[in-house]
Copies of this chain bind each other. A is one copy, B any other.
Amino acid sequence: MKLVLHDYWRSSASYRVRIALALKGIAYESRPVSLLDDAQHGADNLAINPQGFVPTLEVDGTPLVQSLAIIDWLDTTFPDPLLIPREPVARAQALARALVVACDIHPLDNLRVLKRLQSQFGADKQARDDWYRHWIAEGFVALERMAGAGPFLDGAAPGIADVCLVPQIYNARRLELPLAAYPALVRADAAATALPAFAAAHPDRARPA
């Protein structure tokens, strides 16, 4: 099976998929799509990703899109280690934590949304940063309450919620959002980023030279 990941080093959704691939020890070819050059909207990327987004995982030429759908495919195809529990209630709880990040934080702070705030409302950098931090904080307050006993968000081992959390914490730190109010999230992030798989997927390691 040949896997090709079309990604961008700083994209949160790409970072999630890199973490999942690394946790499972899966080899893949990486093809960067430069968001700075607007390559995501080029014909090559639109042919495999109708939204003009990253990441896309090509599986023997079949493109899979949407990071959580890609991670679900990885989890059913390479179940060791499992990132989404099989027991129905534990499964729903892990997915819910992941979806708080993937639906209710990240899409609101995406590059296309920040650009739209600028074009439609004339939002300057300060206003865009305030917007960005607002939605992270809203989501983190809830996620902190949804965390279990730890050390990871998903329990004793990292799961799909941790895969989504770490890139979001990376963004929160870039935006200088204070994190003291979220001790369970900071603990989960520290436990995860201490693992070689999370380190291997870090944007600094994926950044083209």
Query: A residues near B, CB below 8 A?
Result: 50-52, 59, 62, 64-66, 68-70, 72-73, 76-77, 88-89, 91-93, 95-96, 99-100, 102-104, 106-108, 112-113, 116-117, 120-121, 123, 127, 130-131, 134, 138-139, 141-143, 145-146
Taking a contact as CB atoms under 8 Å apart, the answer to whether B123 and A51 are in contact is: no
Taking a contact as CB atoms under 8 Å apart, the answer to whether B130 and A120 are in contact is: yes
Taking a contact as CB atoms under 8 Å apart, the answer to whether B92 and A51 are in contact is: no
Q: Which residues on B sit within 8 Å (CB–CB) of A123?
A: 121
Please indicate which of the listed interface residues A69, A134, A142 has the most CB atoms of chain B within 10 Å of its own CB: A69
User: Which residue of the partner chain B has the closest CB to A117?
Assistant: B121
Q: How many copies does the complex hold?
A: 2
Please list 15 pairs of residues, one from A and one from B, whose beta carbons are closer than 8 Å in the complex, sorted by A's number.
A50-B143, A50-B145, A51-B100, A51-B138, A64-B93, A66-B95, A66-B96, A69-B91, A69-B95, A72-B92, A73-B89, A99-B102, A108-B108, A120-B130, A121-B121
Main secondary structure of the interface of A (DSSP, over half): helix
Q: What is the bound-complex CA distance between A127 and B119, given in angstroms?
A: 12
Taking a contact as CB atoms under 8 Å apart, the answer to whether B107 and A104 are in contact is: yes
Q: What is the bound-complex CA distance between A99 and B103, given in angstroms?
A: 8
Q: Which residues on B sit within 8 Å (CB–CB) of A95?
A: 66, 68-69, 72
Q: What is the bound-complex CA distance between A103 and B106, given in angstroms?
A: 9
Decide yes or no: A96 and B120 within 8 Å by CB, A50-B145, A62-B89, A107-B108 being known contacts.
Answer: no
Looking at the assembled complex, report how far the CB atom of A139 sits from the nearest CB atom of chain B, in whole angstroms: 8
Q: Which residues on B sit within 8 Å (CB–CB) of A142?
A: 50-52
Please list the 5 inter-chain residue pairs (A to B) with the smallest Cβ-Cβ separation, ordered nearest first: A69-B95, A73-B92, A50-B145, A66-B96, A69-B96
